[in-house]
Chains A and B, each alone.
Chain A
Amino acid sequence: MPEPQAVPKLPKAPTGIAGFDEITFGGLPAGRPALICGAAGCGKTLFATTFLVNGATLYGEPGVFMSFEERAEDLAANVASLGYDLDGLIAAGKLAIDHVRVERSEIEETGEYDLEGLFIRLGFAVDSVGAKRVVLDTIETLFSGFTDPSLLRAELRRLFGWIKDRGLTAVITGERGDGQLTRQGLEEYVSDCVVLLDNRVADQITTRRLRVVKYRGSAHGTNEYPFLIDEGGISVLPVTSADLNYGVAEGVISSGVAGLDAMLGPGGFYRGTSVLISGEAGTGKTMLSSSLIDAACARGERCLSFVFEESGAQICRNARSIGLDLARHEASGLLRFEAARPTLFGLEMHLARMHRDIDRFRPDVVVIDPLSALRGPTSELQATLLRMIDLLKGRGITAVFTSLRQEGVVEAADDLGVSSLMDTWIKLLNVEANGERTRTLYVIKARGMSHSHQVREFLMSGDGIRLVDAYMGPAGVLTGTARLVQEAHERAESLRRRQETERRVRDAARRRAAIERQIAELHAGLDAVADEERLLRDEDALRETALADERDELRARRSRAE
């Protein structure tokens, strides 16, 4: 059969497994066998079943499941929990299951034989439903049923050739062996595409991973990708594909706390950025994030909150103490809490789960509370968080992370090494003085906006969160009761000063009155003197007149006497 080398792109058969088709750029090689290998319990059969079921239901490609291990009814029962109705598909003629039972004790070998029976059964099943897809699970079981491995190998080679000739897209599963991918070295025969599933336990936490070991004729993601098996089936998360070329969401969203918005130049956080709220225990991280959630939901935005230390109901109840009714938003479907113990999964699984939940819920705001609950090796942690942030940014989701700072830990270690990834960092600090603790808040950084560098006192009451300007004066920065005392002190001081001034004003007024009185007296004296002066002048004038009269009379008398 001529290889389809003239075709520029290898034809592919999509598996319908979320994420897998992305990392393989389309799915498994169409018309060829692919090997899915891994240790027991890592999801090989489920992967294969999903491939068939999706083929039959989504892509109109009927399939044949040739099971060498489980009986048809067991298979159907196993995947029924995922919502796969194998019996229904069989009835609809879209699926055929053939259970090939190979029992060493029941088989006596004498002379030459071949596996023509298998070929014919497979061919019969394929023809009965017009199959395009085939699963052989796990064909290595044949090696336990027949004694002649060289014959089996030759037959397997023939089988895979036959599958290619028929143009069937086949998934062959194989158990992980020592030093090689499968026990019987199947990878030698199925060389087009090999996918390795892995189920690793580190620190008692299991993480499922998938790696495309080989994909002839096609590019593929080479990393190990975490994958998830839950009630939604398999999802593979190509999270490392995230890059930095995401668009920038415009707009500003309120933090739900007026005082905090006022500290930030544009009046809130930029939409689609990441916000870190770090602080010690009991500094109000969750309350601050709850305020933000309430504000977002009140705007009609969707919020998804991943909580690792409390249940959603508990957060709702606690938020009521500051007058926030989160339960209302939860009831209206705008808010969803996803609570899980951090130890329930490994880091990758948490990320995987979040990825899936985010894609399903399509939130505008995501809260992770607290980020510090996720534990793991530092390098892995940082890589995981980086991908998480990229994941959120890539979708234009505003992300709020809270982080618990250990008391007494050096400053640099309190941000999990992610502060550089955060656009805004709000630090809540307990100030301990004069026998009391006071909550304070700083905006450490806010990318792309001016912001206040000053400390604010953080008050929580039934009316919500209020930020109060801390006292700043000659006595330093004071908060809490000390601030109140200082303010009272200042008030008393200013009152005293005012009274003093008033007294001096009164004094001055009195002195002025006295002087004015003196002036009035002097004026009176002056007037008296002037009167006297005038009187004297008048007397003088009268006297002069009298004298003149006398002289005139005398002169007259003399003249008469002469």
Chain B
Amino acid sequence: MTGDAAPGRYLLRLFVAGTAPRSLRTVESLRRICEAHLAGRYELEVIDIYQQPELAERDGVVAAPTLVRAAPAPVRRITGDLSDPGRILRGLDPSLAEARL
């Protein structure tokens, strides 16, 4: 299943609100998932919306934390603390989720 359409690079942006435990937990959780499934194929940018509110506006972020898959198109948003790896993968790319199962 992995061979089809060679998905190229994933451009991910994670918006978190400050350095609260939940933010840190989310960042850690996301890194783990990406390393496991998208190793070498992704770029992750972690943005603290307190520090860069204008970026939140640009990407239309309302909730925190929010993971934005900027590429490949279409843009997808995953809201929540990313505690469920299965749902994150499904959100990022349904094909990845199926591969894992």
Contacts and interface: CB of A to CB of B under 8 A. Distances in A.
B78 A110 contact: yes
B77 A113 contact: no
Interface stretch (A118-126, A315-323, A374-382, A527-535): A118-126
A121 B56 contact: yes
A114 to B, nearest CB: 6
B63 A106 contact: no
B11 interface: no
Contacts of B83: 110-112
A93 B17 CA distance: 27
A146 interface: yes
Contact of A113 (B60, B81, B84): B81
A117 B13 CA distance: 14
Q: How large is the interface on A (under 10, 10 to 19, 20 to 34, 35 or more residues)?
A: 20 to 34
A115 B91 contact: no
B25 to A, nearest CB: 9
Interface in B71-96: 74-84, 87-88, 90-91
Nearest to B59: A117
Given A102-B62, A116-B64, A117-B15, A110 B53 contact: no
A146 B78 CA distance: 11
A124 B78 CA distance: 23
Contact of B82 (A100, A106, A111, A120): A111
A107 B67 CA distance: 10
A120 B66 contact: no
A106 B74 CA distance: 9
Contacts of A111: 80-84
Given A115-B63, A116-B63, A106 B54 contact: no
B26 to A, nearest CB: 8
A108 B86 CA distance: 12
Contacts of A110: 78-84, 87-88, 91
Contact of B60 (A101, A114, A124): A101
Contact of A108 (B53, B56, B77): B77
A174 B28 CA distance: 39
B80 A146 contact: no
Contacts of B15: 117
B44 interface: no
A33 B77 CA distance: 30
Given A112-B83, A146-B63, A106 B56 contact: no
Contacts of B74: 106
A118 B82 CA distance: 19
Nearest to A114: B64
Contact of A117 (B17, B81, B91): B17
Interface string A124-136: 1100000000000
Nearest to A145: B62
A120 B53 contact: yes
A142 interface: yes
Interface in A245-296: none
A144 to B, nearest CB: 12
Interface in B1-52: 15, 17, 22, 49-50
A309 B90 CA distance: 68
A192 interface: no
A489 B71 CA distance: 108
A112 B81 contact: yes
Contact of B62 (A108, A118, A124, A125): A118
Contacts of A123: 53
B97 to A, nearest CB: 11
Interface in A68-116: 98, 100-102, 106-116
Given A111-B84, A121-B56, A116 B76 contact: no
Contact of A98 (B57, B66, B91): B57
Interface of A: 98, 100-102, 106-118, 120-121, 123-125, 142, 145-146
24 contacts: A100-B62, A106-B74, A106-B77, A108-B77, A108-B78, A108-B87, A109-B78, A110-B87, A111-B84, A112-B80, A112-B81, A113-B66, A115-B62, A117-B63, A118-B63, A120-B64, A121-B49, A121-B53, A121-B57, A121-B62, A124-B56, A142-B62, A145-B62, A146-B79
Q: Which 10 A-B pairs have the closest CB atoms?
A: A124-B53, A111-B80, A108-B91, A111-B83, A116-B17, A111-B81, A116-B64, A110-B80, A110-B87, A117-B61
